[in-house]
Amino acid sequence: MNLKNKTLFGLAAFAMAAASVAAHAADLPDRIKKAGKLVIASQANYPPIAYKDPATGELMGLDIELGAAIAKELGLKVEYQETAFAQVFSSLATGRVDIAMVAISDTAERQKVADFIDYMKTGPQFFTLQANAGKIKGVADVCGTKVGASRNTNWPGQIAGWSKDNCEAKGKPAITVIGTEGSVDARTQLKTGRIDVAVQGSETLPYFQTMEANTYVVLGQPLFAQETGIPVSKNEPALRDAVLAALKRLQANGTYDKLLAKYKLQSSAMPAALNQGK
């Protein structure tokens, strides 16, 4: 191929890419096309999903990069808006944010107020300190202990249910469930001895085991498989469908797999789908 042909080929490829972005942008709600940006609710306290570089304060993590890739696929700029977990769904309803990427588990209850674009499998995971490993050797030893988990999640209820089925039903003492302010608080309470065992998403523990070597011991497998999703207001079906289509394209072209591999989350991969949570 001579230089002229290479140039023509490159221009044609660029034109096709530009036309594709324009076509995808045409599917978006008018208000978002006019704004030219995708506003994403974020909570940068859940590495490696979303967190801040300790040195620079820059947003990092899977959700940060994946959100930017979705926006780019739609021909939009991305804007992250730090939002308290309790305010996520009201922010979606009022249009303060367009979508949310804060490691939200998709559940049937939450589907009553938002549609979920599911993109990752995870699950609540028991873990303890290495210092406790002598007496808490596995999930069977969790019965009768104090277990902490974020009260902003559905984990406390799931732990209580697990206790009924796996402890009380077998004549063992029940778990005492302690609601915490989040996974950071749960780890702090674990280290100070206020709780014996903690629960957080299975996708986050390899990161903390790397960052704090010889500190945590994972107990068994995740209690349940859960879908993590991107909630979108039920009043925005066009936005929901556009984001879902963009995510599917990112899965098809390898971008999604590369990002999961970057954050060592390959085992959490799942095909993008709507409202799979139970």
Q: Clarify whether residues 53 and 176 are in a common domain.
A: no
Residue 12 clears pLDDT 50, i.e. is over it: no
Q: Clarify whether residues 114 and 54 are in a common domain.
A: yes
Q: What is the pTM of this model?
A: 0.79
Q: Clarify whether residues 132 and 206 are in a common domain.
A: yes
Task: Count Cβ atoms within 10 A of the Cβ of residue 240 and give its class: 0-12 exposed, 13-18 middle, 19 or more buried.
Answer: buried
Q: Clarify whether residues 214 and 195 are in a common domain.
A: yes
HEC string of 203-262?
A: CCHHHHHHHCCCCEEECCCCCCCEEEEEEEECCCHHHHHHHHHHHHHHHHCCHHHHHHHH
How many Å apart are CA 264 and CA 199, to the nearest integer? 20
Residue 48 forms part of a structural domain: yes
Q: Could you give the 3-state DSSP secondary structure of residue 81?
A: strand
DSSP state of 174: P
At 166-193, the pLDDT tens digits run: 999 999 999 999 999 988 899 999 999 9
Residue 12 forms part of a structural domain: no
Q: What is the dihedral of CA 219, 86, 29, 64, to 10 degrees?
A: -50
Residue 30: predicted pLDDT:
95
Across the chain, mean pLDDT equals: 91
Q: Clarify whether residues 251 and 139 are in a common domain.
A: no
Residue 225: predicted pLDDT:
87
Q: Clarify whether residues 234 and 269 are in a common domain.
A: yes
Q: Give the whole-number percent of the chain exceeding pLDDT 70.
A: 91
Give the Cβ contact number of residue 18 at 10 Å. 11
Q: Clarify whether residues 262 and 140 are in a common domain.
A: no
Residue 14: predicted pLDDT:
47
At 205-219, the pLDDT tens digits run: 888 888 899 999 999
Q: Clarify whether residues 214 and 132 are in a common domain.
A: yes
Residue 196 clears pLDDT 70, i.e. is over it: yes
Residue 14 forms part of a structural domain: no
At 123-134, the pLDDT tens digits run: 999 999 999 999
Say how many domains are in the chain: 2
Residue 270 forms part of a structural domain: yes
Q: Clarify whether residues 169 and 95 are in a common domain.
A: no
Report the CATH number at residue 247.
3.40.190.10
Q: Clarify whether residues 209 and 253 are in a common domain.
A: no
What is the pLDDT confidence band of residue 3, given thresholds at 50, 70 and 90?
low
44-61: average pLDDT: 92
Q: Clarify whether residues 97 and 138 are in a common domain.
A: no
Domain range for 159: 124-218
Q: Clarify whether residues 249 and 202 are in a common domain.
A: no
Residue 182: predicted pLDDT:
87
